[in-house]
Amino acid sequence: MRTVTVGTRGSTLALAQTRWVVARLKEEWPDTDFRIQTISTKGDRNRASLESMAQKGDKGFWVKEIEDALLEKRIDIAVHSLKDLPTEQPAGLEISSIPKRVDARDVLIGKEGMKRLADLPPGARVGTSSVRRKAFLRAYRPDLAIIDLRGNIDTRLAAISTPDYDAIILAAAGLIRTEMRHRIDEFIEPDVLLPAPGQGALALETRADDDLNIEVAYAIHDHGTDDRITAEREFLAGLGAGCMAPVGAHASVKGGILTLEGWVGALDGGQVIRGTTSGDPAECADLGAELASDMLGQGAQALIEAAHA
């Protein structure tokens, strides 16, 4: 039997989503043996420096060691959360498959009486470390206290049981994939808070010349998801921004028309720029690039640069 080695970070979420991918791949390739190999990244080893890495523009925080393992043929397919993946892959690697997205939305989890964003009392302490969520919260509810909250999903959920936090905001997808959907109190709709580009989607990365494993991975590719996240990621790339920028994007398809919404905010909440465009899903990349240049024309770059300063 042929063996394909699938590489991933070792966090609960990374392992859960990789096991899901492997189960899907096994359905398509029952005669292939899939082996999961965990790899520790700079992001896992050095959470404290996350912020300074973002400032230096280090976009490969969660993926560098995994990409090295691909290039050195220690693994054949890497599974990533798409939103953590830089908009460009290193020479020799490519994204060869994007499985069907789960839920793209952010969610709120709160203490008793703190279970809806709009109903949080003034001064409520909301935990998040994402610059996008911080920028949004400061603009939407300047009266809230935003408190840094890092760590994996378990650590963040535990924060709700301490006096330091009243509510936290997380990606729905992470909770759904780790079977903690029941902990979600409120799904925050994209018209309130735009998710991170690619949120809720996975990417399977392979060597660009490895036809065999490209074919293996591509068996679980989802074209509809690909159109949507291509629009979102081209928007992000067009802004010259990465996964640690105060940028939100969400694409949806209705009646054969793709609508892309974009958002850029000042980290202090003082300014937000929002835009939207729609067109043929086949033009998804152009739609993303157009919206980016439109919003650059409205001053988006200054907001992105200020957040990294």
Residues at the contact surface with ligand PBG, assessed by CB under 6 A = 81, 83-84, 170-171, 173-174, 199-200
Q: Is 228 buried (19+), middle (13-18) or exposed (0-12) by CB count in 10 A?
A: buried
The residues assigned a catalytic role are: 84
CB of 193 to ligand PBG, least distance (A): 12
Judged by beta carbon, residue 210 or residue 307, the one nearer ligand PBG is 307
DSSP 258: E
* Least CB distance to ligand PBG at residue 85 (A): 10
DSSP per-residue codes, 174-225: HHHHTT-GGG--EEEPTTTSPPPTTTT-EEEEEETT-HHHHHHHHTT--HHH
d(CA 184, CA 170): 9
Q: In the bound complex, what is the minimum distance in angstroms from residue 125's beta carbon to ligand PBG? A: 18
CB of 204 vs ligand PBG, minimal distance in Å: 13
Give dist(CA 218, CA 202) in Å, integer: 13
**Structure token pair of residue 8:** 């991933």
Residue placing its CB nearer to ligand PBG in the complex, 174 or 269: 174
Contact 207, 92 (CB under 8 A): yes
